[in-house]
Structure 1
């Protein structure tokens, strides 16, 4: 079962003559009132004309960087050291409402270059072609990572051509449908590469690729802030983020990706403000989806978030989180405040947006910081954004009525710049000498600092270690010191003394990074030094959660020292749920032993740590009694495949639900109860709160809107029956299977049904 609308993937095909590339106009200075409001919002317009229908925040302008035929169906981009833009093109997705030829090898990785330095790309090179639904890229060392489900590949780059090809992960995006597969490839501050819709992280050490489990995050798009914390979202949720650095808290599978402070909705305000009527959304027939003027009320395709880290915008925009919403043709701006370790966001405006268009084919799907300090926006520019699996009859009607299918080979890339600061739109090569790279770590532009750190590590410039150490210990800029720390870590040159100095620093941002780097530095020869120093940090209240996480790192070398550290900080704040979850995250399959030992010092069984331990122990016991998934997969092969493709990305591989997405299927009365209710939900969807095992699940704990799959004509009643039989017998469920006839009977009785069910409606059925 899958939630709501797709993220970004839109219909693609041909008919090039509909879309003519054109030069951008001068700076957009019109006010919202002076803007042209489109009466034919579905008609195709040129890139130049499309700019006229955009309304941007006062003091900013939108500039065209590239458009068709130079770029087609763009979904992701990255900049290389020459300042060129590498773009992922995905023309194979949804050639029509049936999804014909979806697996055709038509995807590309292309290089866009501005040869005349006028700010617009004018040359295109194809680096890779014949790819199937590619979705992300990431530069590293002498090559580039390419995500082509289900694989993650690394290609060496030789004269803008692919060289040696290495398989990094054969299951990078295994399972999940096209909308729900891993993407992102963000090379973070801690030198690991993170993804959305994934619980894996990657790192290259020598010639070896490391793959580790991490938190399962987001849906489409992922970004980091200046501290290395990660931000992401789901299609109906504005901003989700982690309070803590990303290397922590994912070590205990018994917590099931539910560690307080990770995967946190930092704002519950999901309202959007389109400039025009937006009836072409999947649930547009539902009263609560659109307002009285037929405008979308709340996010339905939130994606491509970015934390602005440049210096070209005014200071008030620093560390703002921008989120794309292609269904409503807009980009939202969010303000973020840090309160201790807690992040809190709010929308920058009410009843308006940072950027919005009256052109319905304006489909922003990804936002990116640039080396020039500008904010880059990828616009797939098309009419449809819904995958066939969830395409409602209502939306099919909108597509046909308003001729939204064609054309399918457009695409634009824009930059957004502030008119309050000087800006020159020209492609510039980036510094590449090691001395220049070290100096660049002090840049106010976060993109450039990231680039310098990565280039120093990729170039293995160990000759710069003395200068990096000097910058770490004597630098006047906190962010430069932070990057110096992680650059030394990436070069394998970080010393215990370096870390201890950070832990003793007067600045919390420096202490935080010092704590964050410890797991990669602990060894049999130095753990005692760190144990002593961490014990001294137990009066540093901001450090408490990190000390809890680090007790697990110590446990690899000395369980007694680890337990002593965990117990000491729990005694400081016994009712702190963040602290409790952090401790339990280090106790995989050791929960009972720790609980017994803790009773002596903390006898109150109502404390947060005991509640967290109880959940983990219950989950562990549940896992031990689950049915054999391999046996069920042999019994219901098509059902198992459909579950992995459609349902598991939101409900979890273990059927126990995913935080911020969907409730459990395991031991759910809605799964094991009345067959007609389950069939109705799966065919036509469910909206609103749902009670499972006496717990009421509603937003933001879950996305309270699950679309049905009965609109997909390629799924027969037999397929649906096998899927439901598989679910009704999986994990600890042991209900009777579902027959093809039973699915047919429900389909026949609901033949004119379009809208999703509510629990109240189902409960009213006899």
Structure 2
């Protein structure tokens, strides 16, 4: 049974302070007292109104400057010329670890939601655009504005282009929630427009490349040290992008283009301390009544289930105990809490499992008794601590989803003058807020930072080396790749060399045989430019690490020929029961060919009767070949199917194939 104390506490505030169905805001000091935090940590106020208002994103740039995106127009789309979105630069003038002033870096932005440092400025998502903003005269205000990309969807502030992330592979990833759009890149006006429906987005400004990425991600994108992506969606707090878009869509006939999977082993359940607001409780009551009247087997939840998950963030810092490294933190703005997932990769699957910590089986990492606490996003700072971005509104919800009569007492802008940012610090390892200036580091010093324990330092150093294109760092990077004991640092070195145009075949070959699975996985990706590595890639389809084996199956599909077909048949024999491996095989021309089926038949792969995985594979293969309609392929397929042990399922597949 839920502890009644939080409800009593909430009710005292409600009846004492507010005549409406909704409580008034707490002061920053009162809000701090309302938190229940995991043992071993303390939470500090880092910034509050008036220095920050409506924050939804925060970053530290390479000079230690702190920027926050503010979204005062939420939840409505502003009229043209009336946008109030801002980017503020936060300043701690006395060095006490608390922000005491701020300046406006950019304003009049329409629904800006995220930033990423780039070449001394900021990349900013502000649908329908991605901007490059830069201060060129040192007054801390953007005076250079360039629209890089245009054409993104712009009619739902909770589902637009956002969450810019620089990854170890030198690509910048952004969430798009699968929304439609026709994106153009203004630096390459001759390039074709990119249809966005169904996917997320990624780009490389150093190579003028842009393309779709597997999604959809709503608001919250986490990328781990191996470059694996995880995303938030309102009711599904954590999913994994299992197969990248570029493989899923290299031909148009794959029966399913889905590349994501819910990885939580605890589904929708969460442990909030606040009761549901009146509008949500009443809407839930009405919906459930309707379901019951229709005799639908459906349950509508008003509380204790994720409905506003957002801000999934990979913890790659060095301040917390070792067991926290690699965890993913997500907020739920409806439940007023922060959830923590511990990720593990099973030995027999390429899909991670996200589970609760043993110490948080019946509680959250952080929960508040303040219903105004809206943890929309997070960032991990150069100090290794987690910063919590609290939008701090009375209501966060799309108005169109609330019945008109319930909206009568709701002011969706109440709280737009508020905003809080908190810093979570370990009690046994207190650290001051730090603002390192990596921009003044030499390239030699930046290469050394690729060995830092904090992912922020490693990624920032890699990005700066990529921006500088200083090839004199090549020898030092090669030594780091060959000699460093930390596989994370070697992977950074490998991709920094790639970004500088210094990657050599011998390095790719070394990565393919590296003891670390992350290096082997990326060695396979980088091998896609070299057909000479097909034999080594073929051996890796039986790798002990399932992500390595899956990547080998995907990358082999870039090529064709008997050796590739044979290796993909090995994949089916080793991993054919796993739907992700079957998809990886079928995503390529070689893996969806009569030649592959011939290999499998000759190896007596198919059982009598067919098992479920074999049936699914044959059905999907038949659909692909039928839709592709290459001359002679369908007849070959029909003849091959006749040689497989017959049962009613196979008879049906044959009949459907010949129709």
Normalising by the smaller structure, the TM-score range is 0.7 to 0.9
Q: Is the 8 A contact 2:173 2:202 kept in 1?
A: yes
| Structure 2 counterpart of 1:185 | 164
CA distance in 1, matches of 2:619, 2:80: 46
Structure 1 residues 613 and 308, CA gap change in structure 2 (3 angstroms): farther
1:384 paired with 2:395, answer yes
Structure 2 unmatched runs, 5+: 15-22, 179-198, 290-300, 630-659
Partner of 1:569: 571
Is the 2:480–2:493 contact (alpha carbons within 8 Å) kept by the matching residues of 1? yes
* Residue 73, structure 1, aligned to residue 62, structure 2: no
In structure 2, the residue matched to 1:672 is: none
- Equivalence map 1:210-221=2 (5 Å): 210-221=209-220
What do the CA deviations read for 1:8-49 (whole angstroms, capped 9, x no partner)?
xxxxxxxxxxxxxxxxxxxxxxxx999993422621222222
| Structure 1 match to 2:553 | 548
Task: Determine the C-alpha separation between the residues in 2 that align with 1:155 and 1:126.
Answer: 13
1:394 shift after superposition: 6.5
Measure the CA separation in 2 of the matches of 1:114 and 1:462.
37
CA–CA distance in 2 between the matches of 1:289 and 1:299? Answer: 17
Ranked by relative contact order (alpha carbons within 8 Å, sequence separation 6 or more), the top structure is: 1
Q: Does the CA contact (< 8 Å) of 1:194 and 1:201 recur in 2?
A: yes
Counterpart of 1:365 in structure 2 is 376
* Counterpart position of 1:223: 222
1:593-604 to structure 2, matched below 5 A, reads 597=598, 600-601=601-602, 604=606
Displacement of 1:101 in angstroms is 5.3
Question: Which secondary structure does the structure 2 equivalent of 1:263 belong to?
Answer: strand
Residue 106 (str. 1) matches residue 106 (str. 2) = no
Tell me the residue number matched to 1:310. Answer: 317
CA shift at 1:591, angstroms?
A: 3.8
Worse overlay, 209-218 or 404-413:
404-413
Query: Given the alignment of the two structures, is residue 423 of structure 1 paired with residue 431 of structure 2, yes or no?
Result: yes
* Equivalent residue, structure 2, for 1:754: none
Correspondence list, 1:146-295, <5 A: 146-158=124-136, 159=138, 160-171=140-151, 173-174=152-153, 177-196=156-175, 197-198=177-178, 199-206=199-206, 209-243=208-242, 249-255=248-254, 258-259=257-258, 262-280=260-278, 282=280, 284-286=282-284
Cα deviation, 1:155-180, whole Å, max 9, x if unaligned, reads 34423343543333212x22652222
**Deviation for aligned residue 1:242:** 3.2
The whole-number CA distance in structure 1 between the counterparts of 2:549 and 2:455 is: 28
Q: Which residue of 1 aligns with 2:116?
A: 138
Q: Please state how far the C-alpha of 1:457 moved relative to its aligned partner.
A: 1.0
SS of 1:482's partner is helix
What SS class does the counterpart of residue 331 from structure 2 fall into?
strand
Q: Answer with 270-279 or 570-579: which moved more.
A: 570-579
Q: Distance in 2 between matches of 1:404 and 1:239?
A: 27
Cα RMSD over matched residues?
Answer: 3.3
Alignment of 1:405-416 (within 5 A): 406-416=414-424
3-state SS of paired residue (2:312): strand
Contact map agreement 2:236 2:268 (CA 8 A) in 1? yes
Quickly say closer, same or farther: Cα 1:503–1:622, change in 2 above 3 A: closer
1:444 and 2:453 equivalent? yes
Moved more, 560-569 or 608-617: 608-617
Does 2:329 match 1:322?
yes
Following TM superposition, by how much is the alpha carbon of 1:150 offset from its aligned partner in structure 2, in angstroms? 1.2
Check conservation: 2:214, 2:243, Cα contact below 8 A: no
| TM-score, structure 2 normalization | 0.79
How do 1:574-585 residues align onto structure 2 when only pairs under 5 Å count?
574-585=576-587
Aligned 8 A contact 2:212 2:245 in 1: no
**1:569 Cα shift?**
2.5
Report the Cα offset of residue 448 of structure 1: 1.3
Query: 8 Å contact 1:465–1:488 — kept in the other structure?
Result: yes
* Counterpart for residue 442 of structure 2: 433
Give the conservation status (yes or no) of the 8 Å contact 1:37–1:53.
Answer: no
Check conservation: 1:229, 1:245, Cα contact below 8 A.
no
Deviation at 1:452, TM superposition (A): 1.2
In the aligned structure 1, how far is the partner of 2:113 from the partner of 2:384? 24
Shift of 1:470: 0.8
- Structure 1 portions without partners, runs of 5+: 1-31, 625-766
Aligned pair 1:50/2:31, yes or no?
yes
- The answer as to 2:407 corresponding to 1:396 is yes
Hey, what's the Cα distance between the residues in 1 that align with 2:6 and 2:580?
A: 50
Q: Describe the superposition over 1:540-567 as per-residue Cα deviations: whole angstroms up to 9, x where unpaired.
A: 2433211110122224xxx444333323
Identify which of 59, 77, 95 aligns with 1:117: 95
The 5 Å alignment of 1:744-763 reads: none
> Shift of residue 622 of structure 1?
8.5
Say if 1:155 and 1:165, in contact at 8 Å, map to a contact too. Answer: yes
Which shifted more, 533-542 or 592-601? 592-601
Distance apart, 1:300 and its partner CA: 0.5
The 8 Å contact of residues 283 and 403 in structure 2, kept in 1 or not, is answered as no
The structural deviation recorded for 1:612 is 4.6
What is the deviation of 1:615? 4.1
Change (3 A) 1:469 1:571: same
The corresponding residue for 2:345 is: 338
